[in-house]
Structure 1
Amino acid sequence: MELAKDLICLELNTAQTNEKVKISPAGQQIVGYDGRVFNIDANFVVTNTKSQGVDILLDRDHFDGEAMGWFDINSLEARDDGIYASLEFTQIGKELVEKRLYRYMSPAYEVNHRDNGIREVVRIGSIGLVNRPNLLNQALNNQSKGEDMSQNDDLAVKFNELNEKNATLQAQVTAKDKEIEELKAALDTERNNAKTARIESAIKNGELLPNRKEMAMALEGNALDSFMEVSKSEAASVLKEKSYEKNKKDELDIDPDVKAQLGL
């Protein structure tokens, strides 16, 4: 979910009265100064914003620091032309507005992206006191056609483009990391299967004693190679001794009369 700031500004023209203040326009296609389009369903946004259960912060220039005022969460009201709420200034906020150091408000929205490029506003996160209006009472405060955008506006557009590109690249990096992890897991499985086959083949061929299998499985690389080489001599010695003992036992088991007849 994206947090959209500095896209829509409303003149703070009712702040000195007891009337509710308009904190957001409403409509299906609210166009920001940078061209982004928002769908603002007033009733939907009011319901979701109230569900947070905390008053809405009025900050300065969207810096979440010292409060310039608070909007009563329970006073949120959806009207035909927008969303309204009761505002209580702090002393600092009141002085900024009374001295006309700040004249406008800009809502910070939490939005979801839609396939058609429109951003659906989910709730209002905070309101900022600002001096660069974007929309005044839903009317685009745009420059005339053919007039160059100011340097700050151009930088804002480029910043948004870079953010979108960064999100795309981050998604690609995440996908590649997942692919690498899957390849590592497949390689580990293949190596383990090859090692198991090697060890079981050595046991079958009399080059490794069966009771050495677990020890061999715990080794890798050169350590395994050295262990397998030493195990050949051990296995040959043990198997030879067992063969000798078997032959000896076989000789002892022959009937003396039979041995005499065979000249043994």
Structure 2
Amino acid sequence: MRDQDHGTRKGMMDKEVRLTLEMAELPEWLRLLPLGRVELVDGRPPFEVDSASLEEIVGAFGERGTDLVVDYEHQSLKGVQAPAAGWIKGLEARPDGLWARVEWTSQAQEYLSRREYRYFSPVLRLDPESRRPRELLNVA
């Protein structure tokens, strides 16, 4: 469902997380969410990530049966052309949070190696009552 005013989907949450690129190669695995309380940078209420929510996110990804897109600047939420920066090929619930295995496009590799993009922002479906994340929808 789309929110007419903001061009985003209701019930989703995103969190900007710093992606550190101090290495020669781009990481294959990224930690998208930590365990515990997640404070948002835009003033929206925080949410809690626990091991049960991580397992639910990983399960939903498995049931989906397709890769999830990593796009640029949340373009896939805006209804405009949204080229992929990469594809999430796998998710793992680890003791320190949710990790994603990303296959980067060549264009994204260039952007990231030149540090033209430095942050990523997961888009989540949160339970409206508990505010626990239930599904990863994409990443920008």
Identity over the aligned pairs, expressed in percent? 25
State TM-score, norm by structure 1: 0.42
Provide Cα deviations, 1:195-253, integer angstroms capped at 9, x if missing partner.
xxxxxxxxxxxxxxxxxxxxxxxxxxxxxxxxxxxxxxxxxxxxxxxxxxxxxxxxxxx
In 1, the alpha carbon distance for the partners of 2:114 and 2:70 equals 17
In 2, the alpha carbon distance for the partners of 1:78 and 1:68 equals 23
Does residue 93 (structure 1) correspond to residue 108 (structure 2)? The answer is yes
Which of 35, 39, 47 aligns to 1:31? It is: 39
State TM-score, norm by structure 2: 0.75
Question: Greater share of strand residues, 1 or 2?
Answer: 2
Question: Greater share of helix residues, 1 or 2?
Answer: 1
TM-superposed deviation, 1:32: 1.3
- Paired residue for 1:11? 19
In 1, the alpha carbon distance for the partners of 2:136 and 2:128 equals 16
Cα 1:18–1:32 shift into 2, 3 Å: closer
TM-superposed deviation, 1:17: 4.7
Which of 71, 85, 105 aligns to 2:88? It is: 71
Which of 46, 49, 62 aligns to 2:61? It is: 49
In 2, the alpha carbon distance for the partners of 1:120 and 1:51 equals 19
* One-letter code aligned to 1:30: V
In 1, the alpha carbon distance for the partners of 2:127 and 2:24 equals 30
* One-letter code aligned to 1:26: L
* One-letter code aligned to 2:135: R
Asked if the contact 2:16–2:119 (Cα under 8 Å) also holds between the matched residues in 1, the reply is: no
* One-letter code aligned to 2:63: S
TM-superposed deviation, 1:67: 0.4
Unaligned 5+ segments in structure 2 are 1-9, 77-81
Unaligned 5+ segments in structure 1 are 129-264
In 2, the alpha carbon distance for the partners of 1:12 and 1:18 equals 9
In 2, the alpha carbon distance for the partners of 1:92 and 1:112 equals 35
Asked if the contact 2:123–2:138 (Cα under 8 Å) also holds between the matched residues in 1, the reply is: yes
TM-superposed deviation, 1:123: 0.6
- Paired residue for 1:255? none
Decide which structure has the larger Cα Rg and report it: 1
In 1, the alpha carbon distance for the partners of 2:107 and 2:114 equals 11
Cα 1:96–1:18 shift into 2, 3 Å: closer
* One-letter code aligned to 2:39: V
**Other structure's SS at 2:87 match:** strand
In 2, the alpha carbon distance for the partners of 1:3 and 1:15 equals 34
* One-letter code aligned to 1:31: E
* One-letter code aligned to 2:124: Y
Let me know the Cα RMSD of the aligned residues: 2.1
**Relative contact order, CA 8 A, sep 6+: which one is greater?**
2
In 1, the alpha carbon distance for the partners of 2:60 and 2:121 equals 19
Q: How does 1:171-210 map to 2 (within 5 A)?
A: none
- Paired residue for 1:180? none
TM-superposed deviation, 1:125: 0.4
